Each structure stands twice: as C-alpha cells, then as structure tokens.
Amino acid sequence: MAIINLNLEQTYAYNASGGTILAPLNGSWVCALAVNYYSITEPVSYDWYHAIAVHLGVTTPVNDNWIQALCLFYGITAPVNNSWIWALALGATPVGPPFEWSTNTTLWEAETRIWEIG
C-alpha cells in the first residue's frame, strides 16, 4: 500500500498513516500527519517532525536531526539515496496507540469469534 512520490513529505505522511493522510494541512503534509493522524495540536520548537518524534517517545535527535531520530524509531539505520528523508518516507509504517494493561479498553471483551484448538 506504500506510495512513492517525488514529494517525500507526502510519501512519508501517506505511508506513516497507513494511507489515511490524503491532503496537506495548511500546506504541509507533515502537519497533516501530526494533526489528523496523531492528534498533535502544535509543533515543538516550530518543527512538526520534532512534535511527531516526541509524541512517539523519541526524546533526543540523532546528530541534531529529528528526521534521522524518527528513522531510528522505525528501525531504519541507513539513508536511502544518501538522504534520511528518503529513508523515512519509504520506511515509515503506521504506529498505533500504546497498549497498557488495565488502562486500554479499546477492544476489551469485544472478541466475538469462537476459537478452535487443533
């Protein structure tokens, strides 16, 4: 379902959201990802990449670079085409909310299938 587009921010937003971000917000694809997918209300230090990183639990940039830090979060360890934004755009995958025992009731007792053993 991943797309490859010459607009790497569009590609990142689309791929990281599982295909749900289809239009920019205020002219920015990364802003659309932050606001419409992660429900982040404002950038951190005027930077939406920084805001997304903090939201995902990334607290320190790599080589003073939040895009490279996000790559590391997604398990991306090398640039693509000598570019970390290329790597992020192609390697980002959707991240769901964290699961915490006793607090996450999203699907609690919602299973209706009958499981068979064997």
pLDDT tens column, 12-58: 999 999 999 999 999 999 999 999 999 999 999 999 999 999 999 99
pLDDT recorded at residue 95:
78
Has residue 80 got a pLDDT over 70? yes
Residue ranges covered by each domain of the chain: 8-91
Residue at token pair 């569009």: 10
Buried-state track 93-105, b at ≥16 Cβ within 10 A, e below 16: eebeeeeeeeeee
Mean pLDDT across 95-116? 59
Residue 115 or residue 21, greater confidence: 21
Backbone angles phi, psi at 80, to 5 degrees: -115, 135
Residue whose C-alpha is closest to residue 97's, from 39, 43, 44, 33 = 39
